[in-house]
Structure 1
Amino acid sequence: MPFRHFIIFFLFFLLGTTNGFAQNDLIIRKITFSGNDSLSRESLLKQMNTKPPSFSKKISFWNKRMRFSSFTFEEDILKLKKYYLKSGFLKSVISYHLKPTSNGKKLDIAIKIKEGSAVLTGKVLLNIPKNGNGQPYLDSLKKLVQLKTKHRFRDEDVIATEKMIYDNFSSKGYPYIRVITDITLSPDKLSANVTYSILPGHKSYVGAMKLEGDSLISRSYINKKIKLKQNEIFTQTQLERTQEKLFDLGLFQYVTIRASMDSVENNRIPIHIQVKELPRWSLRTGLGYGTEDRLRVSLLLKRLNFLGGGRSLTFKGQHSHFIPLNIETKFIQPQLWSKNMDFILNPFFSRELEESYEVDRWGTSLTLQKVFSKKKSAYISYTYGQDKVNLKEASLSINTDQIAELNNTKSGVTLGYNSRATNKLFSPSTGWKFGTMATYMGLGFKSQFHYYKFILELAGFYPLGKEVVLAGKMKVGTIEPTQGDSQTPIEDRFLLGGALSLRGWGRHQISPINEGGNKVGGNSMLENSLELRFPLFGIFSGVTFMDMGNVWSDPWEFDPRSFNYDAGLGLRVKTPVGPVRLDFATPILGEKFNLQFFITIGHAF
């Protein structure tokens, strides 16, 4: 008897005992399982629509709790039986006990399972017609089979092995492969034999390629980016990678690659590539508000395929309260010297306002950026520029004998690396992010300051339950003068506090101070944050968090005994461009209560 028919038979024959239903509409308080030695509680709950309240549901008392429905619960019991059958347990018995609480408003559900003996996998056979295509691959294929003799028989292993066979042959140029799976069940012996009959079809190759579409970008440039070669082995994976690479050039509105599977000649499959170019000129403007930036205004003008060859030119202008003017131009030359190696020329000017000083920065940077994948990149950048620093009157005690050096020329190089292994870009629930940057200033051109600066940042995300995430961040940095210099430039030192660091203080309020009581920045910093993120309802989610850290005057000075601490609560509103963030925080552990409020876009990390 085929195994799937046997499952249907047992669903109606092996119904577990019940002991009556409690009154409908009681609030479900908890669900417990016993006897489930082989299958986890979490996997069993995934099969059910009747659910116990999650952690986030328990703390969000304003949300409606799930109420018991006898009809839904009957369906759940059948689903559990079917799940056990698929997992190799033909004679499992499921019973339950429904117990209302003493006040008669809530319900506890206890589910008892007698798993019985499991069906074991017997023989696993892979058959390819003799002298047929693919025969040489048979031995290597057998090593990849996920079904193991004398192991518990599971439907998902049968399906996974079938998919493995398809994928393995498709990657070797057999897109027309067929697999016929036959399962022979022996209920008395509690064993199942599985036979896969593999019909690979003919080995196929890439045929003639035709490029079509609405694009002024030269055909020769596009053809250079197409990695498919005529007469090479045909694989769907190669088509998908080529489509992704063309789209990642940032020049096209869409890219489609289609294989004409019904027009094969001499085992050659014709390929049709169609592209539609993005507008050459684009203009984006932005207007927003945040408690730190206050009114934000931005403008981005972009020219694609500037001077041909996929090059681009952008002009960006921004205004906010603390950075009243930021102007930069970027010229990007893609694919310089090697694959995914971009050259970036970036002239810039900015005016920045801090509590103790103002600084005008202008200059240019030359960057080589290597993109290893969508989640990993590295760069090396040379920067030449001049900083004009104006101390506010109350800050003149900073070092009056060296005020002339406040207006300075800088020349230096920066190395950076960024990597992430998160499941989402805006609101990750699992994985980690890592970034580091090392700068050395003082490379000729009358550079007046000589120092190195190092920053490292690491963030991790760990799921605790459905949509409940524990997130943590550590950031450390130091800056140290070299070549006999006595100090570092005030405009490049560290300041903490605000929406992106210690949220119990205002923007850049954590800093060493000079004799006049002015915040002059420090040469070492360390900060840590811990957040518990949980859903509320709809597009709203909540956060409770704690931050700690400090800024110290000397390089490499990290003293946990002098940490500042804060704690707070936050609200997140999901939007297409990332969450809108509202945070309330106050200093704790010996500090006076001083509530800070921040509203901005994006998580703190």
Structure 2
Amino acid sequence: MILLNKPVSLLILFYPIFLAADDIQWKVKDIDFVGNNTFDRTVLIDQMKLKPEGLFSKTSFSMAQLQQDIGSLDSFYRNRGFFQAEIRSSLDFDSTKKKVSIYLLITEGVRTELDSVVFVGNILHSDSILSVLIQLKRGSILDSSLYSGAQAKILEFYASQGRVFARVEYFFEFNQTGETAGLIFTVNEGPVVRAGENSILGLKATEEKVVTRELQFDQYEIISAEKIRSSVYNLYATGLFKLVSIIPVDTQAIPSEYDTITAPILIQVEEGDFFNIQLGAGFNSFDRWYGAVELAYKNLFGLGHRVYLSSRLSSVVLQAQVGYDYPWLFDRDFSGEISGYIERRDLESFKALYQGGELAINGKLSERNRYRTFINYKHTGWFRGQQQGPEKNNTLLLGTRFTRDTRDSYLDPGNAFFSFIEAEIAGLSFSNQFYRFKWDIRLYREFFGRRLNLSSALFLGYVNEFGKSGLVPPTELFRIGIDDVRPVRGYTESQVSAVNKEGEAVGGEFAAVINLFDIRFPLISLFSGEFFVDGGYVWPRAGDFSLEKLRWSVGPGLLITLPSGIFRIDYGFELRRSFDFKGGWYFGLGHAF
């Protein structure tokens, strides 16, 4: 057994003897810790790149990587208040199996607590104001998140007032035993900064106005951290760039004698791929096997105009759509969109072909709040089946949708909230007449350092006829698994919907789908596990609503994270009084919601 101190001066002497005698790569067998009284083995291994061998994974051993891992563990302890922590390693080589067992000997030492907070250099704001801002309490563990978070709050406070060149640093004064320490912040408040000329780098096929129109500040306007963040967010939201940075440039060699200065703004971007292909496929109880494809080019004329062609094919729906998106219509911060489509539906109770088009205005109320107003025209080419067809072949519909979306992204939402509410009305003399409401709300939460993800969702929908119309067209009723209504995993549509005499699903005027919870957790490598509870039903009319009609399912899932996205396999069991393990498979790309 070889005992190594943290500097590892024995690297040259011993490493070649065991590892360079042949060309076989040594593997890590196990990693054990001694003296880790505060953090368990799992937490410490998470800080390392070397891992103990598992059923499907083996890590190659490297002395250099071991030292990097020891450095990571040392930083981990220091960042959590153990400034006197020491870590040594001991190695046991099995030359027969070419495996290495790693023993890490940890001396944690005392954990330092905060004794006092002192500010130096602050003129505009008193110590008491900054103390209230950072809210550090005497006796708190001197965790790095504590003092680095306080530093960030002070910088954000000054930057929100236009002092984006403010500088804040910190250092400690320990007592003799290291049990307590004073935290000293040195503050350089800096001047108020106004935006000077923009210098934009990285544009190749995109006009400069595409960048400047997304900025949340004008020339000579006082800039703040929030305005910079919003500008960066807007530029990413165009979908044209894969890298964006906005930096006010401090050109003052020495501190300015003036309290307000003008600074040039350096904007650096890296253009993404303008031609985009999106593919989707899966299996569920409604569509059975389905596939979808969208082809798009999103930078026509170098102005961010987007043209797209999409298609969806399944056993019940065949659809093709073409559209054009015009951002900053009339040089205003909203976009215009025009699209046309043709669709055939082969449902249990009817078959129909219809075509139409839509004009829409898309805009934002704030960074995370958006709206969409649209006019949709639909013409029914033919309709046949058991279900009564529409009274008129034409439907002219006016609608609006408000959306709030705080997700980091669709695949990795983070701690987030998503919701939309939509209202539609169809009328005029030549059109079917009805009104419809939809409400979708989703909540996402992360626990244990993003190792456990919990999400819940609720969808409610209501539609009803008015005026001279005696019924809502069957193509406008709610159907489980289509048109914003999520499926209830484990059931076919006819099991969670109003049906006709033949037992065929006919849709309904009121729909409710409850994703009570969806828990995701890591397994190994690219694989994650999932456990869910779904519920839902579609009632023929709102007056028929009954909680007893709700159908519930429960089941496990497996998620595989690939470079192209997430592939999901779910199995839903029907929850009935006589539980008989009946259910259904679901395959798809992305999360359930």
With structure 2 as the length reference, what TM-score do the two structures score?
A: 0.71
Measured after TM superposition, the shift of residue 410 of structure 1 is 0.9
Residue 322 of structure 1, aligned match among 306, 316, 323? 316
Measured after TM superposition, the shift of residue 559 of structure 1 is 0.9
Measured after TM superposition, the shift of residue 204 of structure 1 is 4.9
Tell me the residue number matched to 1:364: 357
Tell me the residue number matched to 1:383: 376
Q: Which moved more, 1:528-537 or 1:462-471?
A: 462-471
Does the Cα contact within 8 Å between 2:167 and 2:189 map onto a contact in 1?
yes
Tell me, in whole angstroms, the C-alpha distance in 2 between the residues paired with 1:168 and 1:322: 56
Measured after TM superposition, the shift of residue 526 of structure 1 is 2.1
Tell me the residue number matched to 2:496: 510
Tell me the residue number matched to 1:136: 124
Tell me, in whole angstroms, the C-alpha distance in 2 between the residues paired with 1:287 and 1:147: 49
Tell me the residue number matched to 2:411: 426
Tell me the residue number matched to 2:473: 489
Measured after TM superposition, the shift of residue 350 of structure 1 is 1.4
Q: Compared with structure 1, are the counterparts of its residues 478 and 202 closer, same or farther at alpha carbon in structure 2 (3 Å cutoff)?
A: closer
Structure 1 unaligned spans of 5+: 1-24, 34-40, 52-60, 66-70, 91-113, 129-133
Q: Compared with structure 1, are the counterparts of its residues 192 and 296 closer, same or farther at alpha carbon in structure 2 (3 Å cutoff)?
A: closer
Tell me the residue number matched to 1:522: 508
Q: Compared with structure 1, are the counterparts of its residues 300 and 79 closer, same or farther at alpha carbon in structure 2 (3 Å cutoff)?
A: closer
Residue 452 of structure 2, aligned match among 468, 477, 485? 468
Cα distance per residue 1:259-280 (max 9 Å; x no partner): 5545769854333445566677
Tell me the residue number matched to 1:602: 590
Tell me the residue number matched to 1:588: 575
Tell me, in whole angstroms, the C-alpha distance in 1 between the residues paired with 2:80 and 2:430: 78
Measured after TM superposition, the shift of residue 283 of structure 1 is 6.1
Q: Residue type matched to 1:480 in 2?
A: N
Q: Which moved more, 1:492-501 or 1:477-486?
A: 492-501
Measured after TM superposition, the shift of residue 539 of structure 1 is 1.1
Tell me the residue number matched to 1:548: 535
Residue 434 (structure 2) pairs with residue 454 (structure 1):
no
Tell me the residue number matched to 2:62: none
Q: Compared with structure 1, are the counterparts of its residues 490 and 175 closer, same or farther at alpha carbon in structure 2 (3 Å cutoff)?
A: closer
Q: Residue type matched to 2:551 in 1?
A: N
Secondary structure, aligned partner of 1:362: strand
Tell me, in whole angstroms, the C-alpha distance in 1 between the residues paired with 2:273 and 2:111: 65
Cα distance per residue 1:105-156 (max 9 Å; x no partner): xxxxxxxxx999985634x44333xxxxx73344685354536575546354
Does the Cα contact within 8 Å between 1:496 and 1:508 map onto a contact in 2?
no
Q: Compared with structure 1, are the counterparts of its residues 508 and 368 closer, same or farther at alpha carbon in structure 2 (3 Å cutoff)?
A: farther
Does the Cα contact within 8 Å between 2:368 and 2:406 map onto a contact in 1?
yes
Tell me, in whole angstroms, the C-alpha distance in 1 between the residues paired with 2:203 and 2:563: 29
With structure 1 as the length reference, what TM-score do the two structures score?
A: 0.70
Q: Residue type matched to 2:547 in 1?
A: P
Measured after TM superposition, the shift of residue 447 of structure 1 is 1.0
Tell me the residue number matched to 1:209: 198
Tell me, in whole angstroms, the C-alpha distance in 2 between the residues paired with 1:297 and 1:82: 49
Secondary structure, aligned partner of 1:453: strand
Residue 334 of structure 1, aligned match among 314, 318, 328? 328
Cα distance per residue 1:523-575 (max 9 Å; x no partner): 22222233333322111122233333222222243211123233333221112
Secondary structure, aligned partner of 1:515: coil
Aligned runs of 1:78-477 on 2, under 5 Å? 86=81, 121-122=115-116, 124-128=117-121, 135-138=123-126, 141-146=129-134, 148=136, 150-152=138-140, 154=142, 156=144, 157-172=146-161, 174=163, 177-179=166-168, 181=170, 183-186=172-175, 192-200=181-189, 204-211=193-200, 214-215=203-204, 218-219=207-208, 222-233=211-222, 238-239=227-228, 241-252=230-241, 255=244, 257=246, 259-261=248-250, 268-273=262-267, 282=275, 284=277, 286=279, 288=281, 290=283, 292=287, 294=289, 296=291, 298-302=293-297, 304-305=299-300, 310-334=304-328, 338-339=332-333, 341-373=334-366, 375-392=368-385, 395=386, 398-399=387-388, 403=389, 405=390, 408-422=393-407, 424-428=409-413, 430-441=415-426, 443-448=427-432, 450-463=433-446, 465=448, 467-477=451-461
Q: Compared with structure 1, are the counterparts of its residues 353 and 115 closer, same or farther at alpha carbon in structure 2 (3 Å cutoff)?
A: same
Q: Residue type matched to 1:196 in 2?
A: F
Structure 2 unaligned spans of 5+: 1-28, 48-53, 59-65, 85-107
Secondary structure, aligned partner of 2:562: coil
The CA RMSD over aligned residues, in Å, is 4.9
Q: Compared with structure 1, are the counterparts of its residues 508 and 27 closer, same or farther at alpha carbon in structure 2 (3 Å cutoff)?
A: farther
Q: Compared with structure 1, are the counterparts of its residues 332 and 445 closer, same or farther at alpha carbon in structure 2 (3 Å cutoff)?
A: farther
Q: Which moved more, 1:165-174 or 1:566-575?
A: 165-174
Secondary structure, aligned partner of 1:245: helix
Secondary structure, aligned partner of 1:587: strand
Q: Compared with structure 1, are the counterparts of its residues 226 and 537 closer, same or farther at alpha carbon in structure 2 (3 Å cutoff)?
A: closer
Residue 538 (structure 2) pairs with residue 538 (structure 1):
no
Does the Cα contact within 8 Å between 1:239 and 1:257 map onto a contact in 2?
yes
Does the Cα contact within 8 Å between 1:582 and 1:600 map onto a contact in 2?
yes
Secondary structure, aligned partner of 2:422: strand
Q: Compared with structure 1, are the counterparts of its residues 293 and 342 closer, same or farther at alpha carbon in structure 2 (3 Å cutoff)?
A: farther
Residue 573 (structure 2) pairs with residue 579 (structure 1):
no
Does the Cα contact within 8 Å between 1:153 and 1:192 map onto a contact in 2?
no
Tell me, in whole angstroms, the C-alpha distance in 2 between the residues paired with 1:415 and 1:573: 36
Does the Cα contact within 8 Å between 2:206 and 2:299 map onto a contact in 1?
no
Does the Cα contact within 8 Å between 1:326 and 1:351 map onto a contact in 2?
no
Measured after TM superposition, the shift of residue 26 of structure 1 is 10
Secondary structure, aligned partner of 2:124: helix
Secondary structure, aligned partner of 2:134: coil
**Bigger Rg, structure 1 or 2:** 1
Measured after TM superposition, the shift of residue 409 of structure 1 is 1.1
Tell me the residue number matched to 2:3: none
Measured after TM superposition, the shift of residue 333 of structure 1 is 3.9
Q: Compared with structure 1, are the counterparts of its residues 139 and 184 closer, same or farther at alpha carbon in structure 2 (3 Å cutoff)?
A: closer
Q: Residue type matched to 2:419 in 1?
A: F
Q: Which moved more, 1:259-268 or 1:375-384?
A: 259-268
Secondary structure, aligned partner of 2:565: coil
Q: Residue type matched to 2:528 in 1?
A: S
Tell me, in whole angstroms, the C-alpha distance in 2 between the residues paired with 1:464 and 1:217: 41
Q: How many residues are aligned here?
A: 523
Does the Cα contact within 8 Å between 2:478 and 2:511 map onto a contact in 1?
yes
Tell me, in whole angstroms, the C-alpha distance in 2 between the residues paired with 1:480 and 1:224: 42
Tell me the residue number matched to 1:36: none
Q: Residue type matched to 2:309 in 1?
A: F
Measured after TM superposition, the shift of residue 32 of structure 1 is 12
Does the Cα contact within 8 Å between 1:353 and 1:359 map onto a contact in 2?
yes
Does the Cα contact within 8 Å between 1:459 and 1:471 map onto a contact in 2?
yes
Q: Compared with structure 1, are the counterparts of its residues 508 and 349 closer, same or farther at alpha carbon in structure 2 (3 Å cutoff)?
A: farther
Q: Compared with structure 1, are the counterparts of its residues 262 and 497 closer, same or farther at alpha carbon in structure 2 (3 Å cutoff)?
A: closer
Tell me, in whole angstroms, the C-alpha distance in 2 between the residues paired with 1:289 and 1:194: 56
Secondary structure, aligned partner of 2:315: coil
Secondary structure, aligned partner of 2:317: coil
Q: Compared with structure 1, are the counterparts of its residues 602 and 165 closer, same or farther at alpha carbon in structure 2 (3 Å cutoff)?
A: closer
Does the Cα contact within 8 Å between 1:330 and 1:344 map onto a contact in 2?
yes
Tell me the residue number matched to 2:17: none
